[in-house]
Amino acid sequence: MTETFYDVLRRQGISRRSFLKFCSLTTASLGLSPTVAPQIAHALENKPRTPVIWIEGLECTCCSESFIRSAHPLAKDAVLSLLSLDYHMTLSAAAGEQLRANAHETIEKHKGNYILAVEGNPPLNEDGMYCIYYGKPFVETLKKYAKDAKAVIAWGSCASWGCVQAAKPNPTNAVPIDKVITDKPIIKVPGCPPIAEVMTAIVTYVLTFDRIPELDRQGRPKMFYSQRIHDKCYRRPHFDAGQFVEKWDDEAARMGYCLYKVGCKGPTTYNACSTTRWNEGVSFPIQSGHGCIGCSEDGFWDKGSFYDRLTNIPAFGIEANADKVGAVAAGVVGAAVVAHAAVTAIRKASEKPGSTKPEGK
Amino acid sequence: MAVLETQGFKLDNSGKRIVVDPICRIEGHLRIECNVDKKGVIQNAVSTGTMWRGLEVILKGRDPRDAWAFVERICGVCTGVHALASVRCVEDALNIPIPDTANIIRNLMHSTLYAQDHLVHFYHLHALDWVDVVSALKADPRKTSELAQSISSWPNSSPGYYRDLAARLTKFVESGQLGPFRNGYWGHPDYKLPPEANLMAVGHYLEALDFQKEIVKIQTIFGGKNPHPNWLVGGVPCSINVDRAGAVGAINMERLNMVGKIIDDTIDFIDKVYIPDLLAIASFYKHWGAIGNGLASTNVMSYGEFPEIANDQSNKSLLMPRGAILGGDLKNIHAVDLKDPAMIQEFVTHSWYKYADESKGLHPFDGVTEPNFVLGKGTKGSKTDIQEIDESAKYSWVKSPRYKGQPVEVGPLARYIVGYAMGNPEFKEPVDMVLKKLDVPLPALFSTLGRTAARGLEASWAAHKMKHFYGKLMANIKAGKLDTANVEKWEPSTWPKEAKGAGYCEAPRGALGHWIKIKDTKIDNYQCIVPTTWNAGPRDAKNQIGAYEASLMNTPMAKPEHPLEILRTIHSFDPCLACASHVISPDGQELARVQVR
């Protein structure tokens, strides 16, 4: 017997009543007649788990490792109940011919209905042979598997932006996947790696609501990537009060003061680290004493040292005042905060209006 | 080709060629080609690393204090090992001693990785080579419970527990969507476990998947996240404050309690689940004690790890010893010095790189790396569609490192052999215990089975060492030794104009070394030789074969088109190819576009 989407929801503790309500909402959101709702319910009740093909290019497998750290849902439940992980180089039992057959069968059988998850990215130099897959350039497999996918998930900063192998001088000409896949919706989930529960939340969102989450103009789901780490950092009051760590393990470090002056990139990094936190909410880099290195931002490797104060980054308006802020000059703190707010406003204004749906819906 | 004789092996590529690409359940990209004779016995093995990222090229000109973050991204499975080797090489170059408490925290983070990484390897990357998931459906839950309770006091072992598991597994398989278990080699004649043992192992596969994410929370507490926690040149980034205002923003009593609990749980899981499973499964596969020796009985090496004394990397300090064995002479432990130019060298004769004189190897301080992707005349297919590779020419993105000119195996088995040879009871006694329990002789250690067993023993060793380091940390805090960073030389203005250093690290997969040259406060040269380079590397100038190729030789295959035996032996090394294949141009020249000949 094939386990359907409905069976899965039921096992996740979702009642039939909620399920039907979900179907009605889906009907409405698609602008269809309410009479269609039972049809959608029927379809979902009989739909097999969505197949996922997960491929790896130039990468370090930190995204897969992060995915299996997920606590809710547990990776075990995601793999057994939520999706059908038909091809995964790090988890699949099959190798070689048998593993390739898995991908080919899924593509054949579920044309247009499988999700392609990409970890890592394709190098284009040397005819693509810096990453060899089945004896051929990885980029060929990437394009082939993307062709009939319903949607593509770009896991991590490699697939989203290029990440470390694309840092200057990018010897292999590694490129983000949207440079070679141009005709499919791509959900970018950046971070090195992304937070486990953010990864599984995005997969669950797509499978549960049968739609792609609202994305910002860079292709990132707004629900996790629209706020800076700094915006929700629990050390933020120390920033506002001008209380900074000056040197590693100084008195201020032991007091948990702001890490801005030792290079924290929280003020320019969009991610959920300071709210969702890491490894089931245990901590995040700032909480454990090291500044954010900005690993979910495009090109973060090439923005100067991780220990340079953000003064070196253009478009950040606070630099002239940082030391004075450290001296707890109250007026300057005010100015800094205002400058900060202005940057926020500029960033917001520069974002295109979101897609059709208003926020919060 | 004619038969090629090396190191006692006869390489004969006249038989049927089998290509396995990709090898699954590893980190990175690896291709294995083998020739089998009419009886299905492997007569020639070819290991091809199929990726290159050029990470060290990227490091040129950057701030040495940043290097750990770049190189940490070499690998997200053995996360943190490159960061540790990196901060050590920078500290060695700039002569920065780290505080005792920082050393303890590093040891704690590193032993945490050992426990988690070995656990994930055994259950999620290796177990399916030995455990038949489909056979588990035939298991009697009551008998499975009896089996589980006969080998361990682990509480999740009731008949009801296994009944639920069997029901879930049955439903999963009957859905027709087998996910990661799809198209596995189920029913292969060399799956030897009874259905009950298979069901028990599948249960623990799932439990281990849940539990491994708990272990790494220790890295999250000290390093802020996992994978890829944060490190610091001069110590560790986390500060300790257990007494005063602000303690909530530092390592405090609540954090330490969490660490303590996770350590106890880790010891429990490894000693009550991993080790009993390992012994139970191994008892059905004793014949694998005679397969996959490769270099294990002759050449092994360990850089050593876990300095008990901060900043001291002599064997007086290292809890896991440093040393090498050559020619199978267990009485003669060779010294290992990462800075000795004659001792450690890399060859590129069969790698896709170019040296002026490829008959010679180069020490990492003087290494050259220029990609040179050319294929031999005997290649079947084309440059962008390789059907069969020609191993008489260049055939891998991995280089061939050599110790005193010889290939060596690295990893848990190598470490246990070195420890055993030194007569260190922490390594000798568990090995003797396993040999006795399985009723196999010492030579069975030098095998695929021995490699997998050593990793399990080491996971337990590491878990207990976590407890040891935790005790030391608490004692230091009690004594008021709270310093976690030495910042005397944090500012580049305090550095010499030129400096160079080497950083060692015994990673879960084996000996890892980083070498740095600093000039005018920037990285002038950065080199890594990683465990999988030692093990997976291709042939060298003398056609000596590395550990992977050697270990596959003479392996009988029941059904060559179903490469289960190849997977067993290759997985016993726990390959990490993203680690293995990356290099630098030491003179700092940007890499020229590679010409194909």
* Secondary structure element (H or E) that encloses residue B20, with its range: strand B16-20
Between the two ends of chain B, the Cα-to-Cα distance in Å is 22
The Cα B347–Cα B542 span in angstroms is 10
Neighbour-count burial for B533-566, b at 16+ CB within 10 Å, e otherwise: bbbbbbbbbebbbbbbbbbbbbbebeebebbbbb
For the segment A265-304, what is each residue's pLDDT rounded down to a tens digit? 999 999 999 999 999 999 999 999 999 999 999 999 999 9
Partners of residue A126 in chain B, C-beta under 8 Å:
371, 373, 594
CB < 8 Å & 24+ apart, contacts of A213-218: A213/A187, A214/A354, A214/A355, A214/A357, A214/A359, A215/A187, A215/A188, A215/A355, A216/A351, A216/A354, A217/A351, A217/A352, A218/A188, A218/A298
Give the CA distances from residue B449 to residues B208, B279, B411, B445, in Å, rounded to whole numbers and listed in that order: 21, 11, 14, 7
The Cα of A281 is separated from the nearest Cα of chain B by a number of Å equal to 10
- Determine, for residues A293 and B230 on separate chains, whether the beta-carbon distance falls below 8 Å: yes
What secondary structure does DSSP assign to B49-110, as a single string? E-B---HHHHHTTS-GGGHHHHHHTT-SSSTTHHHHHHHHHHHHHHT-PPPHHHHHHHHHHH
Which two structure tokens, joined as six digits, stand for B567? 């997977």
Which amino acid does the sequence have at B262?
Answer: I
Partners of residue B123 in chain A, C-beta under 8 Å:
none
The Cα A350–Cα A346 span in angstroms is 6
Give the CA distances from residue A183 to residues A179, B471, B530, in Å, rounded to whole numbers and listed in that order: 10, 57, 39
Q: Where are the beta strands (DSSP E) in chain A?
A: 50-56, 83-88, 114-119, 132-133, 136-137, 149-155, 186-189
The Cα B390–Cα B33 span in angstroms is 10
* Dihedral class, residue B292 (left if φ above 0, else alpha if ψ from -120 to 50, else beta): left
Give the CA distances from residue A247 to residues A254, B91, B257, in Å, rounded to whole numbers and listed in that order: 11, 17, 27
Calculate the average pLDDT of chain A: 84
Residue A99, pLDDT above cutoff 50: yes
Q: Where are the alpha helices (DSSP H) in B121-242?
A: 141-151, 159-174, 195-215, 217-223
Domain with B273 in it: 97-292+447-487
How many other C-beta atoms can be found within 10 angstroms of the C-beta atom of residue B597? 6
How many other C-beta atoms can be found within 10 angstroms of the C-beta atom of residue A276? 17
What secondary structure does DSSP assign to A44-68, as a single string? HHTPBPEEEEEEE-BS-SHHHHHHT
B476: in domain? yes
For residues B63 and B34, the answer to whether their CB atoms sit within 8 Å is no
Angle (CA) A139-A145-A149 rounded to 5° is 135
The Cα of B539 is separated from the nearest Cα of chain A by a number of Å equal to 20
User: Which of B24, B135, B489 to mutate against chain A (most A CBs within 10 Å)?
Assistant: B24
Give the CA distances from residue A142 to residues A159, A176, B29, B394, in Å, rounded to whole numbers and listed in that order: 11, 12, 15, 26
What secondary structure does DSSP assign to B199-221, as a single string? HHHHHHHHHHHHHHHHHTHHHHH
Which residue, chain included where needed, has tokens 């009723």? B439
| Burial of residue B173 (number of CB atoms within 10 Å: 0-12, 13-18, 19+) | middle
Which two structure tokens, joined as six digits, stand for B293? 């020796």
For residues A63 and A119, the answer to whether their CB atoms sit within 8 Å is yes
Nearest to B488 by CA among A215, A169, A129, A248: A248
Q: Where are the beta strands (DSSP E) in B508-584?
A: 510-519, 522-529
Partner A contacted by B79 (CB < 8 A) = yes
Task: Quote the radius of gyration of chain B (alpha carbons, Å).
Answer: 24
B400: in domain? no
Which two structure tokens, joined as six digits, stand for A123? 């190098």
Nearest to B64 by CA among B478, B503, B471, B388: B503
Predicted local distance difference test score (pLDDT) of residue A23: 62
B386: in domain? no
The Cα A203–Cα A221 span in angstroms is 11
- Determine, for residues B179 and A84 on separate chains, whether the beta-carbon distance falls below 8 Å: yes
Partners of residue B25 in chain A, C-beta under 8 Å:
89-93, 95
The Cα of B231 is separated from the nearest Cα of chain A by a number of Å equal to 8
How many domains in chain B? 1
**Residue B79 phi, psi dihedral angles, 5° rounding:** -60, 135
Residue A165, pLDDT above cutoff 80: yes
List the single residue in B with minimal CA-CA distance to A279. Answer: B217
Partners of residue A190 in chain B, C-beta under 8 Å:
none
Angle (CA) B417-B505-B517 rounded to 5° is 135
B181: in domain? yes
Which amino acid does the sequence have at B474?
Answer: M
B109 CB-near residues (< 8 Å, 6+ apart):
B80, B218, B219, B222, B223, B229, B236
List the single residue in B with minimal CA-CA distance to A91. Answer: B25
Tell me, what DSSP letter sits at residue A127?
G
Please name every residue paired with B300 in a beta bridge, in sequence order, or none if there are none.
Answer: B325, B409
Domains of chain A: 1-48 (no CATH), 49-225 (3.40.50.700), 229-350 (4.10.480.10)
* Secondary structure element (H or E) that encloses residue A7, with its range: helix A5-11
User: Which of A12, A65, A125 to mutate against chain B (most B CBs within 10 Å)?
Assistant: A65
Tell me, what DSSP letter sits at residue A352?
P
Among the partner residues A126, A295, A301, nearest to B373 by beta-carbon distance: A126
List the single residue in A with minimal CA-CA distance to B168. Answer: A80
What secondary structure does DSSP assign to A214-259, as a single string? PB-TTS-BHHHHSSBGGGG-TTHHHHHTT-B--STTSHHHHTT-B-
Q: What is the pTM of this model?
A: 0.91
Predicted local distance difference test score (pLDDT) of residue B248: 79
Partner A contacted by B497 (CB < 8 A) = no
Predicted local distance difference test score (pLDDT) of residue B321: 97
Please name every residue paired with A346 in a beta bridge, in sequence order, or none if there are none.
Answer: none
**Residue B320 phi, psi dihedral angles, 5° rounding:** -110, 115
B129: in domain? yes
The Cα of B223 is separated from the nearest Cα of chain A by a number of Å equal to 6
B367: in domain? no
Predicted local distance difference test score (pLDDT) of residue B453: 98
User: Which of B59, B90, B188, B225 to mutate against chain A (most A CBs within 10 Å)?
Assistant: B225
Among the partner residues B174, B180, B184, nearest to A85 by beta-carbon distance: B180
Partner A contacted by B184 (CB < 8 A) = yes
For the segment A70-87, what is each residue's pLDDT rounded down to a tens digit? 999 999 999 998 899 999
Residue A346, pLDDT above cutoff 60: no
- Determine, for residues B250 and A68 on separate chains, whether the beta-carbon distance falls below 8 Å: no
Among the partner residues B21, B48, B54, nearest to A134 by beta-carbon distance: B21
Give the CA distances from residue B381 to residues A127, A137, B31, B34, B376, in Å, rounded to whole numbers and listed in that order: 15, 13, 15, 17, 11
Read off the pLDDT of each residue in A191-217 and give the average, rounded to a whole number: 95
Which amino acid does the sequence have at B2?
Answer: A
Nearest to B231 by CA among B571, B16, B484, B506: B484
| 3-class secondary-structure state, position A165 | helix
Partners of residue A128 in chain B, C-beta under 8 Å:
384
Angle (CA) B254-B257-B258 rounded to 5° is 90
**Residue B507 phi, psi dihedral angles, 5° rounding:** -80, 165
**Pairing label, strands B522-529, B400-403:** unpaired
Angle (CA) A284-A286-A287 rounded to 5° is 65
Among the partner residues A99, A167, A295, nearest to B22 by beta-carbon distance: A99
- CATH value at residue B288: 1.10.645.10
- SS3 for B258-288 is HHHHHHHHHHHHHHHHHHHHHHHHHCCCHHH
In the predicted model, residues of chain B with pLDDT beneath 70 are: 1, 581-597
Nearest to B535 by CA among B405, B415, B411, B449: B411
Predicted local distance difference test score (pLDDT) of residue B580: 74
- Determine, for residues B384 and A289 on separate chains, whether the beta-carbon distance falls below 8 Å: no
The Cα B493–Cα B497 span in angstroms is 9
Which amino acid does the sequence have at A257?
Answer: Y
User: Helix, strand, coil: what percent of chain A each, to 5?
Assistant: 45, 15, 40
Partner A contacted by B594 (CB < 8 A) = yes
* Residue scoring higher pLDDT (A100 or A17): A100
Q: Where are the alpha helices (DSSP H) in B216-251?
A: 217-223
How many other C-beta atoms can be found within 10 angstroms of the C-beta atom of residue B247? 18
Partner A contacted by B397 (CB < 8 A) = yes
Task: Quote the radius of gyration of chain A (alpha carbons, Å).
Answer: 22
